[in-house]
Structures are given as C-alpha cells and as structure tokens.
C-alpha cells in the first residue's frame, strides 16, 4: 500500500519538479478540489462540565508547481483528527493531482489515499473532475481569486480499491466505483472569510448516495489568523460515518501566493 501511494505521488511530482516556475505552498482546512476556496485550517477546544477538554484540528498542506502553458500539479496531505474524535471518525489523506485549462472546462486528474484514524479503513482512488469555466461573475477559472464572491461546481468520478477491511458501515468494498458532484462557494469581504461546500457521492451497492456539507465563518484577527465558527453535517470518505457538529475556535490560512498558477492569459 505505501509503495502504491509513494509511486503515485512520484509520478505526479516528476514533471512538476522540472518546472521553471518553482514551488508554492498553501495551508487550509482541506484540499478537496483544485480550488482556492480560502477556508482556514482550524483548531477547536471542546469542553463540558465535569468532562476533560478535548481538541480537534482540521488542516492540510498543499504544494503546487507549474505544468506546461496551461496546467499545474499539486500534492499534499490532510488530517482531520484530535481527541474530540474517535479513531473511526478521524480522516487522513494524501493527494497528487494535475489540472489543465481546456477551455471551456477545467480538467483535474487525481490519485488519492484515504484512511481513518485507526487505519482499519484504507483506500486508494484514481479520479477525474470537470468544472465549467467562464460564465457568471465569480465562476471564472478554478484558481481565480480576483472577485470577493466565488463559486464553483465540480463533477467527478473515480475508481478505487480498499486496501484494508472496511468497517461495517462503509458502503464500499474491494474494488469500487464512486461518482460525485460538489458545489463550493466563498465570500471574502475585508477581514471576513465566509465559505461553504457540499458534496454528494453515488456509491456502489444498495446504499445509493452519501452527502456532506460544511460551512465556515471566519473573522481575521491577525495576518492569516482568524476566529472561526464552523458547522458540518453528513458523511464523508473514507468510512462515511455520520457526523453533525457546530464549533468555535481559531483558524490559520496561507493561500497560494507565488507565480505557480497558469499564466495570466489562462486565468
């Protein structure tokens, strides 16, 4: 399994490492799509009377490099963990992907590793995603951050393999097919960061669909640091366990800043 993940990341890194555009790095709450959604990595403390104080952290780090005249590659890792979550509720992942501007659509090809906190559920997924480009104000290119309100729909499909035995609630077994659609939106007036994303998966078997939605409202209190209120509901990979939560805590966001996005003519 580790050799499979390492090989997949190496395949994606090889062309990007040769790029003359250098590397850029971003830190945020997730790396779900080839996007610049802007929701921060978050840290929460959860406490109750006569109960120990628990913590939760949701964050990712993503590296990006240029790929040809109209594309870029990305690779990174994500963790949704902490003592406030049981091991089956935790999410770990690694991704390697490439995105191309194929006007009128953007295309992303990705290889991803998914695991829960106890590593009782481990999966590898190869997927492709499409999103329209141009059109209504705020849609633009997937990497466009030139307007305060941005929204983007994605349509994707993937094939995967369960490396380790899944939990009893996991609808995916052995080799599987997964189709999904995602809608993400963000509004970033001065000192505020308001974002939401929702995903609907169609999975094999008699289960049908799984969905997950998350919204974050953040107020910047220092450069890159914010106070955040987050709510989420639904099920997400790898285990598709149901969760419903409302939290307040602190966030940190470092967006892509350097010139590793496609050239201006392709934005």
Q: Give the lowest-confidence range in 109-113, 120-124, 129-133.
A: 129-133
pLDDT band for 151, please (50, 70, 90 cuts): confident
Q: What b-and-e string marks burial along 224-242, b requiring 16 or more CB atoms within 10 Å of the CB?
A: eebebebebebbbbbbbbe
Mean pLDDT, range 4-33, rounded to an integer = 55
State the average pLDDT for the chain.
77
In the predicted model, is pLDDT for residue 2 greater than 70?
no
Torsion 99-102-103-106 (CA) sign: negative
Q: What is the pLDDT of residue 225?
A: 87
Highest mean pLDDT (candidates 17-21, 92-96, 160-164, 166-170): 92-96
């Amino acid at each position: 399994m580790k050799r499979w993940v390492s090989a997949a990341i190496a395949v994606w890194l090889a062309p990007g490492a040769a790029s003359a555009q250098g590397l850029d790095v971003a830190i945020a709450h997730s790396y779900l799509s080839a996007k610049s959604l802007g929701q921060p990595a978050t840290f929460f403390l959860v406490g109750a009377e006569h109960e120990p104080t628990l913590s939760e952290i949701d964050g990712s780090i993503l590296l990006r490099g240029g790929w040809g005249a109209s594309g870029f590659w990305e690779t990174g890792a994500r963790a949704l963990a902490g003592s406030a979550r049981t091991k089956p509720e935790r999410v770990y992942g690694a991704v390697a992907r490439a995105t191309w501007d194929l006007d009128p659509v953007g295309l992303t090809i990705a290889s991803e590793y998914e695991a829960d906190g106890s590593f009782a559920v481990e999966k590898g997924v190869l997927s492709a995603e499409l999103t329209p480009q141009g059109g209504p104000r705020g849609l633009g290119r997937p990497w466009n951050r030139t307007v305060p309100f941005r929204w983007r729909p994605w349509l994707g499909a993937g094939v995967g393999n369960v490396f380790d035995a899944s939990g009893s609630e996991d609808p995916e077994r052995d080799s599987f097919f997964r189709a999904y659609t995602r809608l993400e939106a963000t509004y970033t007036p001065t000192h505020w960061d308001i974002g939401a994303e929702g995903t609907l998966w169609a999975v094999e078997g008699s289960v049908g669909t799984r969905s997950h939605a998350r919204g974050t409202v953040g107020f910047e209190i220092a450069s890159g640091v914010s106070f955040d209120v987050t709510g989420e509901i639904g099920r997400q990979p790898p285990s598709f366990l149901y969760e419903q939560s409302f939290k307040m805590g602190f966030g940190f966001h470092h967006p892509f800043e350097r010139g590793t996005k496609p050239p201006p003519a392709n934005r």
